[in-house]
Structure 1
């Protein structure tokens, strides 16, 4: 009996000690503030590490004047796209017009979606693509790298590569001169080299496509074979050329295999980029994700390489969606301001290379970590970064969509991670496919709302 009594007394003492630690004030040693260890933090409501009121006041003077943006009619509860274009030829109206003309122009409407690990494995973009294709037409997954770390969990395509050596702009040994639009390039290792793409049952539009293209550069003669659905074959005899080449095969494609034999001459003299599966008409969404990137690496792609890609595959909308790798715990306005200057250069690079193509900046999503009190809440730098991304859109006359606000603002990623079933991972940074679908629907709704507004305003042109 005495044993149980001592056990209860010990438990009460531990609880009392933990309660005491929770209420201890912040302490400093030699001017340095010690981080509080609060083992009871999950029992108390979260508080943001930066005061919402203070931040709003600090950012108030920086917000764009309403006269400088175009949002059209925005339904209550929807976060709409804000277009800051000063030149109608670069405005989002150009993109909306192309969507409305799909039935008559018989050409695809292509979206290049650049981002970081938030869209890795086609999370978010998979459902955005499926929603747009279901409404406006189109099929297929779009561009796929010659080899990919995410091939194992990407649900929109089954991709199998053989005998290729991978390089990306994030590698310490890469060479910028070889970089493609995907910030990657691949060398043949020798022997039979191949990439097989196979449609899946994800969504309504990934099973089949009408066209597949292979992008590569070869300095030596090369014979490439495209095999469709384990049957129909097409052979391409290439001459050496100092530019990117694009090979095209068509049909009712549920699977395509691109292959060639690489001898010793081909190594380092053949550069591979990737292949596509899409339709001759409808919406195409190419996912260009790069883990660990803030987007500034896009500046490393040679302009000539991008021009050659755009010659074969011109885009009607370019989306720049970065930020998770730009700010971290302790980051503030300075980090956001520095990034703003990089974002300016990224936007201007694409404006120069695709002058008639609208650009949409999508804000960073919510990202959480434990603050000094042990609470899980939004990293303070996130709010400054969202504001700076919007300011960059204003400065450069492009469009902006506030994903941070659309997903619920402060601590929204935490709420998504704690839902049953979970919509985000417990790193409080990344979505899963369920969460990607939820947020893709929000951007899709904003785009459809903008298209409806454009149609109303321009009926006289029909």
Structure 2
């Protein structure tokens, strides 16, 4: 009998062979990937139920500051008195599937939100962007979600960023698995500020967002006296945000509603930090799927765990995710002597932080993929991460197996139309897109038949 991993690999072959399309640009500095196939063994359909947070230690949250009041606890995904019982054949994704089902049946007036934490394979947004696109095509598009501002080593589907002037990043080395500074870096794990040459960033939308107006959630932090943030939206005159009592040193959020027909322009003044912006459609009138890509080039499980727990989980709580995807492991496998036991523990610790503020969120853990310079270590890292995923009730997406297992990247690099890049670590752009299609198929497999062709919306681009 074909298991779920074999099924996912078969679907992957249906999308066509991975070919060496345009390589990922050097400016993106890609350095790791992780992806995978479906979860545990076949199980009988189950109805979504509340899950207790994982048994992982988590510190108490700091008291909310006046500038960014703590959000109310997340509401249940679906009120059972209003919606007929929904049965998913994938127990690990029962609540996520219930939310998608309600969305598809026009019985939900909020977005289904996904938080994707990962490394360079996710940062480029070719893979995560394809998942976002296909989920949006079936269940409703709702915008790009989280976006960095001022980060030159960055791309994201559906937008164009014009970055002017000189910028500096905090922390200087955002992938280090240890605390740097105060560890407060917003939702995406890094902040951008400018120098005295008048830096600015212009955000233009290349993909339409449903509805006449979208919602913007601008995040910033004023560091010194006299710091400010200026912005222009809807083609209107610039507005300058200055310090209010109690705001200095605290993360501040500004909510705006505006058209996406004109650029959104932001300027940090002084040492003000920008921690990004979330852009999505109005969930009341145009609910859909929002996938926040929070991946960083070179990151690992320890990277996210080095961030201040209270500050970061407060940002996660604002997003109220229905699903969290953990896509790490390839960088850890690249170490000469990986600490497998440490990584296994870190999977649970990171899940515990998310569940401490979003206990209804389902989880997906993605395997590391093969890499030509660490084949046996990747194999062992895969076993380690898979064990942790099952221990914490997460859906297991096994890219390593889908792509051919140990030695697959070396073999694929020798093919006439190479499926991986010359570093034998990263896929080509087309490869990421096709793998995203396979992941989409896996994520909705237990939900019911697709209304679009499996994993494809035309050729990978």
Cα distance, 1:318–1:155 mapped onto 2, change above 3 Å: closer
Q: CA deviation at 1:298?
A: 1.0
Q: CA deviation at 1:448?
A: 1.6
Q: CA deviation at 1:72?
A: 12
SS in structure 2 at match of 1:95: helix
SS in structure 2 at match of 1:101: helix
Counterpart residue number, 2:56: none
Counterpart residue number, 1:101: 102
Higher RCO, Cα 8 Å, sep 6+? 2
CA contact (8 A) 2:301 2:343 kept: no
Counterpart residue number, 1:436: 432
Q: CA deviation at 1:230?
A: 4.0
Instruction: Give TM-score scaled by structure 2 length.
Output: 0.69
Q: Distance in 1 between matches of 2:210 and 2:449?
A: 29
Counterparts of residues 188-337 of structure 1 (less than 5 Å): 188-190=194-196, 192-200=198-206, 210-218=214-222, 224-228=229-233, 230-231=235-236, 239-240=244-245, 241=247, 243-260=250-267, 262=269, 266-267=270-271, 270-280=272-282, 281-328=287-334, 335-337=339-341
Q: CA deviation at 1:244?
A: 2.2
Q: Distance in 1 between matches of 2:380 and 2:419?
A: 25
Choose the corresponding residue for 1:381, options 371, 377, 380.
377
Which structure: greater helix fraction?
A: 1
Stretch of structure 1 that moved more, 340-349 or 248-257: 248-257
SS in structure 1 at match of 2:298: coil
Q: CA deviation at 1:414?
A: 3.6
Q: Distance in 1 between matches of 2:436 and 2:430?
A: 10
Counterparts of residues 17-32 of structure 1 (less than 5 Å): none
* RMSD, aligned α-carbons: 3.6
Larger radius of gyration: 1
Q: Distance in 2 between matches of 1:98 and 1:105?
A: 8
Cα distance, 1:408–1:108 mapped onto 2, change above 3 Å: same
The runs of at least 4 consecutive aligned structure 1 residues that moved more than 6 Å come to 70-76, 83-87, 204-209, 232-235
Q: CA deviation at 1:446?
A: 0.6
Stretch of structure 1 that moved more, 215-224 or 382-391: 215-224
- Matched residue pairs, number? 367
Instruction: Give TM-score scaled by structure 1 length.
Output: 0.69
CA contact (8 A) 2:199 2:267 kept: yes
Q: CA deviation at 1:233?
A: 6.3
Q: CA deviation at 1:316?
A: 1.2
Which structure: greater strand fraction?
A: 1
Stretch of structure 1 that moved more, 154-163 or 380-389: 154-163
CA contact (8 A) 1:340 1:388 kept: yes
Q: CA deviation at 1:279?
A: 1.9
Counterpart residue number, 1:402: 398
Structure 1: gaps (5+ residues): 1-69, 370-377, 455-462
CA contact (8 A) 1:81 1:447 kept: no
Deviations 1:357-406 (A, max 9, x none): 1121111112123xxxxxxxx70111211111111012223222111112
Q: Distance in 2 between matches of 1:74 and 1:310?
A: 33
Cα distance, 1:193–1:305 mapped onto 2, change above 3 Å: farther
Q: CA deviation at 1:235?
A: 6.5
Q: Distance in 1 between matches of 2:399 and 2:8?
A: 16
Choose the corresponding residue for 1:131, options 120, 130, 134.
134
Structure 2: gaps (5+ residues): 12-36, 52-91, 451-461
Counterpart residue number, 1:22: none
Q: Distance in 1 between matches of 2:122 and 2:359?
A: 26
